[in-house]
Each structure stands twice: as C-alpha cells, then as structure tokens.
Amino acid sequence: ITGAGHGIGKELAIGYASLGATVVCWDINEKNNNETMNDIKKKGNDSVYAYQCNVADVKEVFSVAKKVKEEVGDITILINNAGTMCIKSLLEHSPDEITRTINVNVTAHYWTLKAFLPSMIEKNHGHIVSVSSIAAFYSFHYGTIYCPTKSAVQGNSFLIE
C-alpha cells in the first residue's frame, strides 16, 4: 500500500491487517509509516512491513520493490494510494509543484505496476487498486493540477482492466 503513513492508506493497511493479510506499507514519511506498522502490530498482526519509499523516484521504487520481493515475497494486491495535493491556481504553482504532483499522483502508478505486475501475470494471480477521487470527474476551484492527475489515474485504471 503506497501512502500508508496516514489517511486512507493507513486505514487500508489497518483494515487488510485485521483480515489477516500480510501488509507492506510504503510511504515517503518514515516516521508515519513506522507508526502505521506499529499500530498494526499492537493489534496482534506481526506480518506487517514498513519501507520508506519516494514513489515519484523510479530508481527508488525499483530498489525498494526488489527488497520487498526478497524480504516478504511477491505482492498479490497492489494498492496505489500515495498522493499529493497542492491547491492553487495554475499561475501560483511552481514548476516543481506541478512536476511533483504529476509524478506522485500519476507516474508513480506506472513505476509500481512495472515493479509488481510481472509476477502477478506470471502467476495469473493478483489485484491492482488505484485510489482516485471524485476530482477525477468534477473539477474544483484551484484543483488545476490535482484534478487532471486524478482523471489520469481513473483513465489508466480502465486501460489496465
């Protein structure tokens, strides 16, 4: 689960763990990610792992994915949840903010798919969940970068199916 350090990602991690799943938590924020792991362990599931990963960095995604495969095994459910939201008008966004939002919200999905999809195909078993938003369908004021990234996630999900 990418973005497992807080919000929806954290709740998904706790939920899957409560069902007995082995949970692999990824987040750029190591402290929050470890808190998610420790919260799960306190509830009696020791089959949880936390990895710091900047999903916008392709080299880091492939490196951490390799480590996960070696230490945990193949992933059978990939939940692309990590996201960032900078609410400003287009002219107020810096080039770095635009690039980061697109890389985290969209491009990261491709990197995690390239890392984990081959073993799913090989085993003819696996599931991919791409967390999007109502913003994929309905833009809102100052969602000039965020809304299109969520539309891209939605469109990519339909293509994968």
pLDDT per residue as tens digits for the range 93-104: 899 998 999 999
Task: Please name each of the domains of the chain with its CATH number.
Answer: 7-83+101-132 (3.40.50.720)
Mean pLDDT, all residues of the chain: 91
Give the C-alpha separation, 22 to 29, whole Å: 21
Proportion of the chain above pLDDT 90, given as a percent: 70
Give the C-alpha separation, 138 to 129, whole Å: 21
Tens digit of pLDDT for each residue in 107-133?
999 999 999 999 999 999 999 998 876
Tens digit of pLDDT for each residue in 25-54?
999 999 999 999 999 999 999 999 999 999
Q: What is the pLDDT of residue 159?
A: 63
- DSSP-based three-state secondary structure for 49: strand
- What amino acid positions are annotated as catalytic residues? 146
Give the C-alpha separation, 38 to 124, whole Å: 32
